[in-house]
């Protein structure tokens, strides 16, 4: 980076102005703690590591959360704001600082810090760190997005489903070594269950702390437990993350304001009590991840957002949890009761659906990418297929199969507008897949409109197997399914204006530390061709 491009005035603007705004008057800011001796007595405040996220061509969000006693209520911090100094440099040794400033870690936000650093250069690596008193955090590496119109190649990885009890986060350690431009996390960043409620065959290998989460402090504690894992910390410190949630950040298979246990007459959650739980979960999620948007003030947190990586890729990050109607068929077993065809059912809500259509229609990029949570392609689980008398099939009720009108609206829009190079990124299902996206999944001759890439879990399900046991049945009923693996890992993608290469990374064991990594499969997309081919 040419240091001369950042003037002293620009440097000071990033230092004093932000510090002044964060130290402005207000009840919580009346007496911020900034005494090195008093802070030193607390112990190491950076036990949860550092992270960055939501990169733009000129900006990135820096995150940390102070917690010298991470699993204790309040994280071992005093009930008052604490002064946190931050620094961004052009080199890993911090010899060439480009931005500095001051933030407040407030108890109301779990002593988390979210710094939106502006005035950076596009497609540039930076290093960052925090200081509290005399304590210095580990350094993290981040990278800004390319400038508008840039044809620069892009590398990214995506992952999901890290169940702490089911294994060690070895895949995160390998992901940290990929040195990609950005990481997408597609949900189930953590799991809400009490210890040993969700068990793998042979028993869990680690234990959740606390019971099933319901309160803000319980969600904060579980986030802290996950964040103390050194492999997850390494992955966060290696690259900026763009995150979206699925269900387990709150409650298994919840749908907007409807919890998993949905019958109040049987002593289950009411809408009001569940919305209070959801508000706590959303607040803790924001506190513990490098998100740009303001902190949630009620039970809602808008999370769908767009990131343009020059002329190479447009990423429209979806939220398929917060705006959906309740799952069809009582969310029991494969969809097949007919409710999955309800035209009023929605997985995105009208506002988000229109937003993603606008993003696709106006995209200047070669690749139009939808990072999201739930299996998009058809997963017919019933032999024989539909008939004219009974057009229903056994799809996945919690996925897009349960919301056929929403899926058909999006696919029809892509077909009618001639949207090229559609790629859907998916997590959730604890196994790796690749699928052709067809206008009509029941007709193998229907035109392909794009490709779905599905990552396996980081740990959920334990070690796994080379292939899912149900794959032979599924591929017979769903010829658009092209690849499957049941090992744990993540996916790496490398793309430019002509070619997209997908590498499925698999770890042989996660139920003990030190599993070996391999590339299980590599697939290639050529721009202008909606279907992928093995490399």
Q: Are residues 454 and 482 in the same domain?
A: yes
For the segment 227-286, what is each residue's pLDDT rounded down to a tens digit?
A: 999 999 999 999 999 999 999 999 999 999 999 987 766 666 788 899 999 999 999 999
- The span from the CA of 464 to the CA of 363, in Å, is 39
User: Which of 117, 143, 169 is where one domain is finished?
Assistant: 143
For the segment 23-76, what is each residue's pLDDT rounded down to a tens digit?
A: 343 444 448 999 999 999 999 999 999 999 999 999 999 999 999 999 999 999
Q: Are residues 182 and 115 in the same domain?
A: no
pLDDT at position 103 over 90 = yes
pLDDT at position 424 over 70 = yes
- Name the pLDDT band for 129 (thresholds 50, 70, 90): very high
For the segment 215-241, what is each residue's pLDDT rounded down to a tens digit?
A: 999 999 999 999 999 999 999 999 999
- Report the CATH number that the domain containing residue 95 is assigned in CATH: 2.60.40.380
Q: pTM above 0.85?
A: yes
Whether 357 is in a domain gets the answer yes
Whether 293 is in a domain gets the answer yes
- Name the pLDDT band for 1 (thresholds 50, 70, 90): very low
Q: Are residues 459 and 488 in the same domain?
A: yes
Q: Are residues 313 and 189 in the same domain?
A: yes
CA nearest to 137, candidates 238, 237, 24: 237
Angle, in degrees to the nearest 10, between helices 216-227 and 271-287: 40
Whether 233 is in a domain gets the answer yes
Token pair of 270 as six digits: 């009411």
For the segment 346-405, what is each residue's pLDDT rounded down to a tens digit?
A: 999 999 999 999 999 999 999 999 999 999 999 998 776 666 555 556 789 999 999 999
Whether 149 is in a domain gets the answer no
β partners of residue 112: 65
Q: Are residues 163 and 121 in the same domain?
A: no
pLDDT at position 343 over 90 = yes
- Name the pLDDT band for 8 (thresholds 50, 70, 90): very low
Q: Are residues 424 and 306 in the same domain?
A: yes
308 exposure class (CB count in 10 Å sphere: 0-12, 13-18, 19+): buried
Specify whether the backbone of 158 is left (phi greater than 0), alpha (psi in -120 to 50) or beta.
beta
User: Which of 143, 174, 200 is where one domain is finished?
Assistant: 143
Whether 163 is in a domain gets the answer yes
Average pLDDT over residues 122-151: 98
Radius of gyration for the alpha carbons in the chain, expressed in angstroms and rounded: 23
**What is the tally of structural domains in the chain?**
2
Whether 398 is in a domain gets the answer yes
Query: What confidence score (pLDDT) does residue 70 get?
Result: 98
Q: Are residues 204 and 284 in the same domain?
A: yes
pLDDT at position 500 over 50 = yes
pLDDT at position 483 over 50 = yes
- Report the CATH number that the domain containing residue 355 is assigned in CATH: 3.60.21.70
User: Which of 101, 123, 143 is where one domain is finished?
Assistant: 143
Please state, rounded to an integer, the average pLDDT across all residues of the chain.
92
End-to-end distance of the chain based on CA atoms, in angstroms? 35
H helix or E strand, kind and range, residue 230? helix 230-238
Q: Are residues 171 and 114 in the same domain?
A: no
Q: Which of the residue ranges 299-303, 370-374, 486-490, 498-502 would you say has the lowest mean pLDDT? A: 299-303
- The span from the CA of 261 to the CA of 501, in Å, is 42
Query: What confidence score (pLDDT) does residue 264 get?
Result: 62
Write out the residue range of the structural domain in which residue 409 sits. 154-534
Q: Are residues 320 and 207 in the same domain?
A: yes
């Amino acid at each position: 980076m040419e240091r001369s491009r950042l003037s002293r005035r620009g440097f000071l603007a990033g230092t004093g102005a932000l510090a002044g705004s964060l130290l402005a008057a207000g009840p919580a800011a009346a007496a911020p703690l900034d005494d090195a001796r008093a802070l030193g007595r607390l112990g190491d405040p950076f036990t949860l590591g550092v992270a960055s996220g939501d990169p733009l061509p000129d900006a990135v969000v820096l995150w940390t959360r102070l917690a010298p006693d991470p699993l204790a209520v309040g994280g071992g911090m005093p009930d008052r704001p604490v002064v946190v100094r931050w620094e961004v440099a052009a080199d890993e040794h911090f010899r060439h600082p480009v931005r500095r400033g001051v933030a407040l870690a407030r108890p109301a936000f779990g002593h988390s810090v979210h710094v939106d650093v502006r005035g950076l250069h596009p497609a540039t690596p930076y290093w960052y760190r925090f200081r509290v008193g005399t304590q210095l955090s580990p350094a993290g590496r981040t990278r800004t997005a390319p400038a508008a119109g840039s044809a620069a190649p892009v590398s990214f990885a995506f992952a999901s489903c890290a169940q702490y009890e089911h294994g060690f986060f070895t895949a995160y350690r390998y992901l940290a070594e990929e040195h990609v431009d950005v990481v997408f996390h597609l949900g189930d960043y953590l799991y809400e269950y009490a210890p040993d409620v969700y068990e793998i065959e042979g028993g869990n290998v680690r234990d959740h702390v606390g019971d099933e989460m319901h309160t803000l402090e319980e969600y904060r504690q579980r986030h802290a437990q996950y964040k103390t894992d050194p492999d997850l910390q390494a992955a966060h410190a290696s690259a900026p993350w763009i995150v979206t949630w699925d269900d387990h950040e709150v409650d298994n298979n919840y749908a907007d304001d409807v919890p998993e246990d949905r019958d109040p007459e049987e002593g289950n959650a009411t809408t009001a009590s569940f919305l209070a739980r959801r508000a706590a979960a959303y607040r803790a999620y924001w506190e513990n991840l490098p998100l740009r948007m303001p902190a949630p003030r009620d039970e809602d947190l808008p999370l769908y957002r767009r990131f343009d990586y020059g002329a190479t890729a447009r990423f429209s990050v979806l939220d398929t949890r917060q705006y959906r109607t309740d799952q069809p068929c009582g969310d029991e077993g494969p969809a097949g009761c007919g409710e999955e065809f309800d035209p009023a059912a929605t997985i995105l809500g009208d506002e988000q659906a229109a937003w993603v259509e606008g993003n696709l229609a106006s995209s200047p990029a070669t690749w139009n990418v939808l990072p999201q949570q739930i299996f998009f392609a058809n997963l017919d689980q019933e032999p024989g297929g539909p008939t004219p008398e009974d057009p229903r099939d056994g799809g996945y009720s919690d996925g897009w199969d349960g919301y056929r009108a929403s899926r058909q609206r999006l696919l029809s829009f892509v077909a009618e507008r001639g949207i090229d190079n559609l790629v859907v990124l998916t997590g959730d299902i604890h196994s790796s897949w690749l699928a052709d996206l067809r206008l009509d999944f029941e007709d193998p001759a229907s035109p392909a409109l794009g490709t779905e890439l599905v990552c396996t879990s980081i740990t959920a399900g334990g070690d796994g197997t080379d292939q899912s046991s149900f794959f032979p049945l599924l591929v017979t009923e769903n010829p658009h399914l092209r690849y499957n693996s049941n090992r744990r890992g993540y996916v790496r993608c490398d793309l430019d204006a002509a070619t997209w290469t997908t590498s499925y990374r698999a770890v042989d064991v996660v139920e003990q530390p030190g599993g070996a990594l391999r590339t299980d499969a590599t697939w290639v997309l050529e721009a202008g061709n909606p279907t992928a081919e093995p490399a």
